[in-house]
Amino acid sequence: MGNTFRTENMSQKNNSARLRNDLMRTAAAEVENLKAYKTAGSKIFDRVLKWINPRTSFSISRQLIAGSTGKNTSLGHNFEPDFDVILFVRNVTHLETLKPVIEEFHEILKNLPSESEDWTRFKIHRWTNYGVQFSMETVIELPEPGRKKPVTISFDLLPAYDFHSNVDQQRFKVLEKINMSRDREGDNYKYSGSLSEKTVEIVNKKSDFVHCVIRLAKLWDKKLKDDLEQRDGEWKISGRSSIIELIAIQTANESGGNILEALRKFLERMMNLNKIKINFSEQDYHRNSAMMIIDAVNPYHNYADGLTTTHVNDYAARASKSLRALANVEKSDFNYDKALEDFMADFAKA
């Protein structure tokens, strides 16, 4: 019996080592896939900015690619992630909203050429209270020599208040505004673009390992979203990408550099999402909240407020299923490949 136990234990250790390598390869592939996509999107963004700058009556002080793409935590070209592009605008802090800026940017973009050397088709989709949404069809150079791929890159062009050229002073002044606000929830969204530099800075400083854990978490989340939308229609969560990112960062920090352990902890947290308590800030404004997910930049914004009971239950059910499949991979003897296939079925594929 002792020999049997040692054999089973050795088999589980071998499977765990194989699984760690397989997970790292999956995450690494998305890094390469993102580079080609981001290069093309960045070039288009520069061209669009050169079109806007001489035609606007507002003073644009600087620009930023924000969101998951700017933080290098987005999935690759096969998933065609959005670009959140921020234009910081001077001398508009007296405006209650940036609607006049958005309207002017929208009018300027209407005259942007529909074709150029960097895109084959340009289309404005809509403008909102926060920015202008448009897309570009283009062709990207893939990592493999000589390979190209047509893609559609979606952009959210978002003006932001420029309070200060220094990133930390900018954050300080924005948080002063939110602190004095009678509508903190509304102003969290109103000033999110103004805080984006600090958000991007913090996540970009995380290790490659943390970024790998984030990508795996996003592949898992993407598959769940796709499955639920195929079954039930639109499945939308405010701040979903940030929620997944922050939970993944927390679990990566607790895993000692072991990607398998990080993923397991991530799934356990998603299974117990109704009790989640994550706070990267130095403040505790939401200590009485049942669920708490707060980043290091804005202590007033609890991302967990965007989660409904349905969202929590959907995440818990899928996470429980994934954990069972993960256990099967680790315990499998001769059927590792089949067990791995079953487990990876819960992750999005290109």
Q: What is the 3-state secondary structure (H, E, C) of 248-285?
A: HHHHHHCCCCCHHHHHHHHHHHHHCHHHCEEECCCCCC
| Rounded distance between C-alpha atoms, residue 326 and residue 344, angstroms | 9
pLDDT at residue 282, rounded to an integer: 83
CATH number of the domain encompassing residue 147:
3.30.460.10
Considering the domain architecture, whether residues 279 and 135 belong to the same structural domain is answered as no
Structure tokens at 243: 């929620």
What does pLDDT average to over the chain? 91
What residue type is 226 in one-letter code? D
Could you tell me the CA-to-CA distances from 276 to 150, 177, 291, 302 in Å, in that order? 40, 28, 5, 11
Q: How many domains does the chain have?
A: 2
Is 249 found in the same domain as 131?
no
My answer on whether 272 and 183 are in the same domain is no
Residue 276 · residue 269 · CB < 8 Å:
yes
CA distances from 130 to 97, 101, 166 (A): 9, 10, 23
Is 127 in the same domain as 117? Answer: yes
Q: Kindly state whether residues 313 and 286 are assigned to the same domain.
A: yes
Per-residue pLDDT tens digits for 238-286: 999 999 999 999 999 999 999 999 999 999 999 999 999 999 998 888 8
Residue at which a domain ends, from 175, 205, 235: 205
CATH number, domain of 240, equals 1.10.1410
More confident: 347 or 33: 347
Q: Are 137 and 242 part of one and the same domain?
A: no
Are residues 92 and 101 in contact, defined by beta-carbon separation less than 8 angstroms? Answer: yes
Does the pLDDT of residue 5 top 50, yes or no? no
Indicate if 70 and 194 belong to the same structural domain: yes
pLDDT digits (tens, 9 = 90+) for 128-182: 989 999 999 999 888 777 788 899 999 999 999 999 999 999 999 999 999 999 8
Domain membership of residue 266 as a residue range = 206-350
Last residue within a domain, chosen from 205, 226, 241: 205
| Mean local confidence (pLDDT), 18-47 | 87
Domain boundary among 205, 229, 257: 205
Q: At residue 323, does pLDDT exceed 60?
A: yes
Which pLDDT band holds residue 12 (cuts at 50, 70, 90)? low
Q: Reduced to 3 states, what is the DSSP secondary structure of residue 136? A: strand
Quickly state the pLDDT bin for 4 (edges 50, 70, 90).
very low
